[in-house]
Amino acid sequence: MIKDVIVVGAGPVGLMLAGELRLGGADVAVYEKLPAASGESRGVGFTRRAAEVFDQRGLLERFGEVEWAQGHFGGVRIDFGKLADNHFSVRGIPQFQTEEILEGWLRELGVTVHRSHEVTGYRQTADKVTVWFDGPGGPGEETARYLVGCDGARSLVRSLAGIDFPGWGATRGMYMADVVGSGIRPRPIGERVPGGMVMAFNLQSGVDRIVIHDENLRPHEDRSTLRFTEIADAWQRMTGESIHHAEVRWISSFTDTTRQASTYRVGRVFLAGDAAHIHMPAGAQGMSVGVQDAVNLGWKLAADIAGWAPAGLLDSYHSERHPVGQLLMRNTRAQTRLYLSGDEMEPLREVMRDLVQIPAVARHLAGTVSGLDVRYDMGAADHPQTGLRLSPDLVLRRVGGGPVRVGELLHPGRPVLVVAGTGSGDSGVARAADGWSDRVDVVTGTWASARAGDQAVPEAVLLRPDGYVAWAAPSRYSLTEALERWFGRPQPAVPAAGDRHAAVS
Ligand SMILES: Cc1cc2nc3c(=O)[nH]c(=O)nc-3n(C[C@H](O)[C@H](O)[C@H](O)COP(=O)(O)OP(=O)(O)OC[C@H]3O[C@@H](n4cnc5c(N)ncnc54)[C@H](O)[C@@H]3O)c2cc1C
């Protein structure tokens, strides 16, 4: 028996993708070279859209009480509190905690993560991919219909697929350390000091994350020689404070290298997460965007495996996510310059501080860093919500049921048609999806509020499993066409005697 999908890498992106595939009914295996979770706290939170994506699968509550954080663009503060939509990000969650939660979810879904299994190569043919690995029992191989490289910045899957990784090499180096008992004061969005920038914030009870940009520090990719004294010396040089006495939990360094895979798909092989894009960690975006890659790809691959994917669905992964990666590179490069350049950037920072007072500018920049401004091309559309995500916080009062949040409607990872208008045509809208009842859920009710952020709520809305609006009413465009475009051909009609709508059709 061949697998449906092999995922290489059990970082946050590979784990999320495996869960999405399983929800869609695919038989998936994850191969990870590390014997246990890395325990690294690289990422310290996630963007609003990543929080929403976790919420859509019932995972956000597993993080417990989270700290919602204000945003900035390259150190220029944006007042999220003044915006109609909720752009607040989540802070203070070390990446290993996100990975633990996702791996726990996979255990519940019955997905095996093969740890201590390093993928060493693969070969794809017209209908399958054979993957070779080195595991505890020696070399082995497994075959699947598809392979996804979620194997990080130095992706083997990417290089063996011959996919270019163009971009910009490192020009700056940064230090980071997680320490206990440093006694320093917080500088949550960074503070300019002569010769660079320093940042310090509480990561989790008692642990502080410090980040240093020293303009004279050359980027060094080899972290093996890095010692805490080097970091503590730099902190003292730049702030006058000593942190040499602090207890060290983790140290690392990173650069502003920015690259993006030229394509996210070659035949049966796909890339997601850092394997597809790397950049300076500005605004907690890397893992967040990678997790959204996974949520975009998962249901499409699962649909292909289940046999109902319409033509072109798999290619829409690249056409939807590659532009998001391009904008990610653009915004992180812009933020890096704004944030880390010297005094010569101060006039531009002042102009930016003025500009973010204009509501439209604040909304635009907030949408960029939160991920809420992602809009996919859904074809002919005339409703302002089409292509955007629908807020998971919207509440629907169900006919014959209690109130339910949009986020909860998406927990099963299936497409949903919500019919929430009061017009006489509503039952017709619901019936239009009859032919897709094996894959599209239909829910009817009324919205508890008239607005979603700064938009009026749609009277009816067709949601993809990733939470994006494929069709919304009122619209002069056909719901049936949207159903076919995203969810394939309808099932053959049920014989008249069993037709539950015979009386009204
Ligand atoms: C200092 C810093 C701070 C950051 N802060 C944030 C933040 O706050 N928020 C945020 O969203 N992002 C942040 N990021 C970015 C984030 O850490 C990455 O984007 C994220 O780890 C990418 O996840 P991934 O699953 O794609 O790759 P990875 O996390 O790199 O996982 C790849 C996995 O693949 C495995 N692997 C590799 N090769 C093989 C092989 N051949 N066989 C088997 N397994 C293999 C690796 O062992 C690894 O477990 C930060 C990054 C840095 C450096």
* Residue ranges per structural domain of the chain: 3-70+85-167+259-323, 173-255, 395-487
- Is residue 426 pLDDT above 80, yes or no? no
Atom of ligand 1 nearest to the CA of 285: 11
Mean pLDDT, residues 478-496 taken together: 87
Class of domain 173-255: alpha beta
- Is residue 79 pLDDT above 50, yes or no? yes
CA 336–ligand 1 middle distance (angstroms) = 20
Of 108, 221, 112, nearest in space to 169 by CA: 221
Residue 31 Cβ contacting ligand 1 at under 6 Å: yes
More confident residue, 265 or 339: 265
Residue 285 Cβ contacting ligand 1 at under 6 Å: yes
- Give the homologous superfamily in CATH for domain 3-70+85-167+259-323: FAD/NAD(P)-binding domain (3.50.50.60)
What pLDDT, on a 0 to 100 scale, did the predictor assign at position 190?
Answer: 84
Q: Please tell me the distance from the alpha carbon of residue 160 to that of residue 147, in angstroms, as a whole number.
A: 12
* Half-sphere exposure at residue 374, Cβ-oriented, CA atoms within 13 angstroms: 32
Which of 299-308, 368-377, 449-458 bottoms out in mean pLDDT, i.e. has the lowest? 449-458
Mean pLDDT, residues 308-328 taken together: 97
Work out the pLDDT band at 2, boundaries 50, 70, 90: very high
E strand or H helix at 300, and its extent?
helix 286-306
Mean pLDDT, residues 153-168 taken together: 98
Which of 116-125, 336-345, 477-486 bottoms out in mean pLDDT, i.e. has the lowest? 336-345
Work out the pLDDT band at 496, boundaries 50, 70, 90: low
Q: Is 30 helix (H, G, I), strand (E, B) or coil?
A: strand
CA 97–ligand 1 middle distance (angstroms) = 13
What pLDDT, on a 0 to 100 scale, did the predictor assign at position 495?
Answer: 58
Work out the pLDDT band at 505, boundaries 50, 70, 90: very low
Task: Sort strands 269-271 and 403-405 into parallel, antiparallel or unpaired.
Answer: unpaired
Mean pLDDT, residues 278-293 taken together: 93
Of 41, 40, 48, 58, nearest in space to 90 by CA: 48
Q: Please tell me the distance from the alpha carbon of residue 161 to that of residue 180, in angstroms, as a whole number.
A: 43
Work out the pLDDT band at 221, boundaries 50, 70, 90: low
Mean pLDDT, residues 478-495 taken together: 89
Residue 150 Cβ contacting ligand 1 at under 6 Å: yes
Atom of ligand 1 nearest to the CA of 174: 1
Tell me the C-alpha to C-alpha distance, in Å, between residue 154 and each of 9, 41, 157, 222, 273. Answer: 11, 19, 9, 14, 11
Tell me the C-alpha to C-alpha distance, in Å, between residue 381 and each of 116, 285, 363, 430. Answer: 48, 29, 23, 19
Span 435-471, pLDDT tens digits: 999 999 999 999 999 888 878 899 999 999 999 999 9
- Is residue 504 pLDDT above 50, yes or no? no
Mean pLDDT, residues 197-216 taken together: 88
Say which residues have a Cβ less than 8 Å from residue 481's Cβ, sequence separation at least 6.
379
Work out the pLDDT band at 65, boundaries 50, 70, 90: confident
Q: Is 489 helix (H, G, I), strand (E, B) or coil?
A: coil
Q: Please tell me the distance from the alpha carbon of residue 76 to that of residue 356, in angstroms, as a whole number.
A: 8
Mean pLDDT, residues 276-298 taken together: 94
- 15, 31, 42, 257: which to mutate for ligand 1, most atoms within 8 A of CB? 42
Percentage with pLDDT > 90 across the chain: 77
CA 80–ligand 1 middle distance (angstroms) = 28
CA 242–ligand 1 middle distance (angstroms) = 31
- Is residue 161 pLDDT above 80, yes or no? yes
Residue 406 Cβ contacting ligand 1 at under 6 Å: no
Work out the pLDDT band at 300, boundaries 50, 70, 90: very high
- Is residue 502 pLDDT above 90, yes or no? no
Residue 156 Cβ contacting ligand 1 at under 6 Å: yes
Q: Which residue carries 């994350």 as its tokens?
A: 209
Residue 283 Cβ contacting ligand 1 at under 6 Å: no
* Half-sphere exposure at residue 305, Cβ-oriented, CA atoms within 13 angstroms: 26
Atom of ligand 1 nearest to the CA of 211: 1
CA 338–ligand 1 middle distance (angstroms) = 25
- Is residue 499 pLDDT above 50, yes or no? no
Of 401, 494, 420, nearest in space to 461 by CA: 420
Residue 95 Cβ contacting ligand 1 at under 6 Å: yes
What pLDDT, on a 0 to 100 scale, did the predictor assign at position 338?
Answer: 93
Residue 100 Cβ contacting ligand 1 at under 6 Å: no
- Is residue 424 pLDDT above 60, yes or no? no
- Is residue 503 pLDDT above 80, yes or no? no
- Note the pTM of the prediction, 2 decimals: 0.94
Mean residue pLDDT of the chain comes to 92
Residue 325 Cβ contacting ligand 1 at under 6 Å: no
What pLDDT, on a 0 to 100 scale, did the predictor assign at position 427?
Answer: 67
CA 279–ligand 1 middle distance (angstroms) = 12
Q: Please tell me the distance from the alpha carbon of residue 313 to that of residue 433, in angstroms, as a whole number.
A: 19
Residue 415 Cβ contacting ligand 1 at under 6 Å: no
Mean pLDDT, residues 73-93 taken together: 91
Q: Which CATH architecture has domain 395-487?
A: 3-Layer(aba) Sandwich (3.40)
CA 376–ligand 1 middle distance (angstroms) = 25
Residue 331 Cβ contacting ligand 1 at under 6 Å: no
Work out the pLDDT band at 44, boundaries 50, 70, 90: confident
- Is residue 243 pLDDT above 90, yes or no? yes
DSSP letters spanning 317-334: HHHHHHHHHHHHHHHHHH
> For helices 286-306 and 315-340, what crossing angle results, to 10°?
180
Atom of ligand 1 nearest to the CA of 45: 8
More confident residue, 25 or 252: 25
Which of 63-72, 315-324, 461-470 bottoms out in mean pLDDT, i.e. has the lowest? 63-72
Residue 10 Cβ contacting ligand 1 at under 6 Å: yes
- Is residue 205 pLDDT above 80, yes or no? no
Residue 176 Cβ contacting ligand 1 at under 6 Å: yes
- Is residue 113 pLDDT above 50, yes or no? yes
Atom of ligand 1 nearest to the CA of 275: 26
Span 261-279, pLDDT tens digits: 999 999 999 999 999 999 9
